[in-house]
Structure 1
């Protein structure tokens, strides 16, 4: 189980870094789904991107990985309104198939991401933990 858990830690970490970088390199789709009631959509996209990168990297640093996992959980909760906005208002994004079901299918994915990050809030065997540094 530990090897699979640590492989999946790496998958989540790399995924978060990639998505976070996309917030900076291609912010328009992310800005488009920010609910209109929130101020400064571009700034919010950059802030969430920053914390996605930080959380992804943090998952791979044993001394802060548990805090990073909790931070990612909070981030997934914070960005959930954008996913709801996308589904409710049927916001179409370039490069994503035009399906009325797809935005709604994304909503439960947030629970999966929360559960995945929560898995790393538990103590890990630091000798076996996927890491980018040696402690």
Structure 2
């Protein structure tokens, strides 16, 4: 594993571990950005925190790494509606900025976060090298 990939893996694991712990510690803080169509919002926030923690730990276990990367990529895709709601409805969260200088890059970065989970976990090497055929 290259130094860059290892650094990205460590950064993602730390990011998702911290985010997951925050979801579990303060689920009410996330409730305002949960879309109205999501059932049982409080339980959903708890479940997302657990998913983030398990994904972070999975990235650190070689035999679980690819599954964790796929799971975290899907997770990042699934939480995109909450990020959209936060931005488009101007939901105020005391801990976060409320300007488009925050929301614009956050929304634009979501596909990069999806790619990073797949790249760091070894699911893809795009755009650098193709995986060897098996």
Same fold (TM over 0.5): yes
**Distance (whole Å) between structure 2 residues aligned to residue 73 and residue 123 of structure 1:** 12
Q: Which runs of structure 2 are paired with 1:75-90 in the superposition (5 Å)?
A: 75-90=75-90
Contact 1:67/1:121 (CA < 8 Å) preserved in 2? Answer: no
Deviation of 1:123 (Å): 7.7
Structure 1: gaps spanning 5 or more residues: 125-135
Contact 1:70/1:121 (CA < 8 Å) preserved in 2? Answer: no
**Distance (whole Å) between structure 1 residues aligned to residue 109 and residue 57 of structure 2:** 21
- TM-score, L = length of structure 1: 0.85
Q: Deviations for 1:98-130, whole angstroms, at most 9, x for unmatched residues?
A: 314422331112111101011024389xxxxxx
Count of residues paired in the alignment: 124
Deviation of 1:26 (Å): 1.3
**Distance (whole Å) between structure 2 residues aligned to residue 71 and residue 60 of structure 1:** 14
Q: Which runs of structure 2 are paired with 1:1-135 in the superposition (5 Å)?
A: 2-119=2-119, 120-122=121-123
2:130 alignment partner in structure 1:
none
Q: 3-state SS of the aligned residue for 1:95? A: coil
**Distance (whole Å) between structure 2 residues aligned to residue 28 and residue 109 of structure 1:** 25
Contact 1:59/1:68 (CA < 8 Å) preserved in 2? Answer: yes
Deviation of 1:43 (Å): 0.6
**Distance (whole Å) between structure 2 residues aligned to residue 69 and residue 90 of structure 1:** 31
Contact 1:66/1:121 (CA < 8 Å) preserved in 2? Answer: yes
